[in-house]
Amino acid sequence: MRTVLGWIAAVVIALAALVGLVALINSRDQSGVDQQSAAAAGPGKPYKGDPVLSPALEDAVKRGNVVVLYRDDKPPAGTQALVPPGGKALVRAGQSVVIDREPTLHAPLAALSAKKIQEADAPAQLHGFIDYWLGGR
């Protein structure tokens, strides 16, 4: 009986030591991701409300979509290729690109996320921005 109690005590002490070691290592871990610094590091400039978005586009951005605005009567060639296949289901899920016209833009194109905006002369210049921000980082 003494042998069994000795083994049980040894197991309990070993478990307590293991839990203490894990707690010590975890308290020293500094590898957390700061969401604000991660957003500040993303591509684009901070979006400060200009251009003003319609309520529908604001909702799309809040869901995680990226809105691509174009200045001219028609979007530049290749703009439609920025929209992933999947239709309205992806827009509802916040995983799409929404294209709309905004005649007051300074550049031919601008891509907006909830936090950033990036202007561009051609759709190819927006791929990195869209890839980073799609899904609402």
On whether residue 91 sits in a domain, the answer given is: yes
* Sheet-wide strand order for 116-120: 45-46, 116-120, 109-112, 66-70, 97-101
User: What confidence tens digit (pLDDT) does each residue in 3-14 have?
Assistant: 888 888 888 898
Number of structural domains (the chain) is 1
Domain hosting residue 105, numbered range: 45-133
User: Global pTM?
Assistant: 0.71
Please give the pLDDT value at position 13. 92
**81 lies in some domain:** yes
Please check whether residue 8 lies inside any domain of the structure: no
Q: What is the CATH number of the domain that holds 95?
A: 3.40.30
Q: pLDDT for 54-98, tens place per residue?
A: 999 999 999 999 999 999 999 999 999 999 998 899 999 999 999
Q: Is 125 inside a domain boundary?
A: yes
Is 72 a domain residue? Answer: yes
Q: Is residue 20 part of a domain?
A: no
Is there a domain that residue 124 lies in? yes
Question: Helix (H, G, I), strand (E, B), or coil: what is residue 108?
Answer: coil
